Structures are given as structure tokens and as C-alpha cells.
């Protein structure tokens, strides 16, 4: 098959069994597609954690207390500062004081990491998660 590299993978039997069970539950028809997705996820995570200039796309998702003085203004200022990598934002009211914000991003992993660190370090921001993929 042109454009495809075939290689073997050796796994302990219990890991192979669990992999097959999980991928079957997720609806994969074969191991190849599941392994391809796992490798792509691994590579995106490595690019994210090393914080290099590799281009990634993804989102920052976090909860925050909108009653914390100055936090809303800070988040707006940060979004303007990073407008070169922010493609969209979504603001969701969860409770009277708790909000969920999702920021879609595209750009160098190091810039997305800087953005995440600026947000997560502020008082009132909770449970920030970063989800990235390589295009």
C-alpha cells in the first residue's frame, strides 16, 4: 500500500487484551486505526509538553469564579494579548458564580503553553485543561 509503513508491535498479553477491549468499545474496526490515533495523540502531547515552535490546534477549557475581583478584566486582557493564536472563545454560565470558558487556539505550542500558564496561575481559575492536536 503506497504511503503506508507497516511495522510490528510487541505487547504483554494483558495490555493487548485491554487495548482490544477498549478499542472495540469505542467502535474501532481494527487495531491499525486505533494505534494511529494513539500515536497522533502521543505526538501532540509531546509537542505540547516540550513547548516548542511546532504548530498545534486545540482548546483551553477552564472553570472560574467570575466574582473574583478583576478576573474577568484580566481574562479579556489576556485574550487580546494572545489574539494571534486565539481563534474563538465560548463563555458558559454554570452557576450564579461559576463560569466555564473554552478558548480555541492555533499556533506554536510554546505560545499556547504561555497562554495556559497565564490563565491557570490566576486566583479564581480552576481545573484548566489543555487539549491539543497536530494538524
With a CB cutoff of 8 Å and minimum separation 6, the contacts of 123 are 68, 71
Unique residue bearing C-alpha cell 481494527: 30
pLDDT digits (tens, 9 = 90+) for 5-19: 888 888 899 999 999
Say which CATH topology domain 55-133 has.
Alpha-Beta Plaits (3.30.70)
Which grid coordinates are listed for 13?
498479553
Question: What pLDDT, on the 0 to 100 scale, is given for residue 38?
Answer: 86
Residue 48 or 38, more confident: 38
Distance CA 107, CA 31 (A): 31
Calculate helix-pair angle for 109-120, 71-81, nearest 10 degrees: 170
Distance CA 86, CA 79 (A): 7
pLDDT digits (tens, 9 = 90+) for 51-93: 677 888 999 999 999 999 999 999 999 999 999 999 999 999 9
pLDDT (mean) for 109-129: 93
Give the mean pLDDT of the chain.
Answer: 91
Question: What pLDDT, on the 0 to 100 scale, is given for residue 51?
Answer: 64
Amino acid at each position: 500500500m503506497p504511503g503506508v509503513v507497516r511495522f510490528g508491535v510487541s505487547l504483554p498479553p494483558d495490555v493487548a487484551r485491554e487495548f482490544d477491549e477498549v478499542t472495540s468499545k469505542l467502535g474501532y474496526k481494527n487495531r491499525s486505526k486505533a494505534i494511529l490515533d494513539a500515536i497522533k495523540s502521543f505526538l501532540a502531547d509531546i509537542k505540547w509538553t516540550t513547548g516548542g515552535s511546532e504548530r498545534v490546534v486545540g482548546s483551553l477549557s477552564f472553570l472560574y469564579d467570575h466574582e473574583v475581583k478583576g478576573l474577568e478584566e484580566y481574562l479579556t486582557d489576556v485574550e487580546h494579548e494572545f489574539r494571534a493564536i486565539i481563534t474563538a472563545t465560548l463563555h458558559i454560565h454554570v452557576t450564579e458564580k461559576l463560569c466555564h470558558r473554552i478558548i480555541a487556539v492555533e499556533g506554536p505550542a510554546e505560545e499556547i503553553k504561555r497562554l495556559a500558564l497565564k490563565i491557570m496561575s490566576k486566583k479564581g481559575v480552576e481545573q484548566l485543561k489543555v487539549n491539543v492536536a497536530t494538524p
